[in-house]
Amino acid sequence: MRNIKIGVLGFQGAIEEHVEATRRALKEVGTSGEVNVVKKLEEVEKLDGLIIPGGESTVIGSMMKQMGIIDYLRQTGGIPLFGTCAGMIVLAKKIRDRVLGDTSQPTAGILDVTVERNSFGRQGDSFEAELEIPAIGGLYRGVFIRAPIVVNVGDKVEVLCRLNGRIVAVRQEKIIATAFHPELANDPRIHMFFIKKIILSD
């Protein structure tokens, strides 16, 4: 397998944590690859996979739009993507806010789900939960920070994980999205799952 190129979108949020987690996961998978922080369209165009971190989805989405990255992702529909928390929100087709209802903000709209922002409310601002994720081999500790949930999924979307019945991880072909933060979990399995998707889509 050639050297795979993975980018972590570097506008805002948990960027370095994803870089570290992805490097570790590459070693665990045993494949050669490089991981870089990317911001420009020219950089994104060279990638085999892009990670969109958690942070503030309105900021990340606006920057993606401004830099032409949203248009690129819509047109190619091609490269494997991994969105975490705010990164899940900016990929979604439809967004609503738990308090404000339907909202409009820049998103790529390529993940066929409706996402509700800040879905756990104030009391659920930040918490950890034991999750069952069969696709990565079972139990996993999820770190949730002002997390969204998926309230509706399209036909092509596979649910990877639920927490108390609520959807918190999905896959649609080459797109993986989690409501929680795998880069903060000190467990490389979800990044490994993403890397394997990149290798398979080669």
Contact between residue 62 and residue 23 where contact means Cβ atoms under 8 Å apart: no
Q: How far is CA 39 from CA 12, 62, 81, 109, in A?
A: 10, 12, 15, 19
Residue 4 vs 179, nearer CB to ligand GLN: 179
Determine which residue in the list 146, 162, 166, 196 makes contact with ligand GLN, applying CB under 6 A: 146
Residues 58-97 binding ligand GLN (CB under 6 A) are 85-86, 89
Which CB, 21 or 29, lies closer to ligand GLN?
21
Residue 56 found at the interface with ligand GLN (CB under 6 A): yes
Out of 18, 96, 117, 197, the residue judged to bind ligand GLN by CB under 6 A:
117
* Residue placing its CB nearer to ligand GLN in the complex, 55 or 80: 55
When asked if residue 47 is in the footprint of ligand GLN (CB under 6 A), the reply is: no
Please, are residues 148 and 98 in contact by the beta-carbon 8 Å criterion?
no
95 closest CA partner among 87, 86, 85, 105: 105
Shortest Cβ 86–ligand GLN spacing (Å): 3
Cα separation, 33 vs 199, in Å, equals 11
Pick the closest to residue 110 from 140, 62, 69 (CA basis).
69
- CB of residue 135 to ligand GLN, shortest distance in Å: 22
Instruction: Specify the length of the chain in residues.
Output: 202
**Beta-bridge mates of residue 178:** 84, 169
Q: Is 24 in the site for ligand GLN (CB under 6 A)?
A: no
Should residue 145 be labelled a site residue for ligand GLN when binding is judged by CB under 6 A?
A: yes
Catalytic residues: 85, 181, 183
Place of tokens 């998103």: 107
**Residue 121 beta carbon to ligand GLN: minimum distance, rounded to whole angstroms:** 11
Angstrom distances, CA of residue 4 to CA of 17, 49, 71: 19, 8, 23
Considering only 7, 18, 57, 188, the residue that binds ligand GLN (CB under 6 A) is: 57
Q: Does 118 bind ligand GLN (CB under 6 A)?
A: yes
What is the rounded distance in angstroms from the CA atom of residue 25 to the CA atom of residue 30?
Answer: 8
Footprint of ligand GLN (CB under 6 A): 54-57, 85-86, 89, 117-118, 145-146
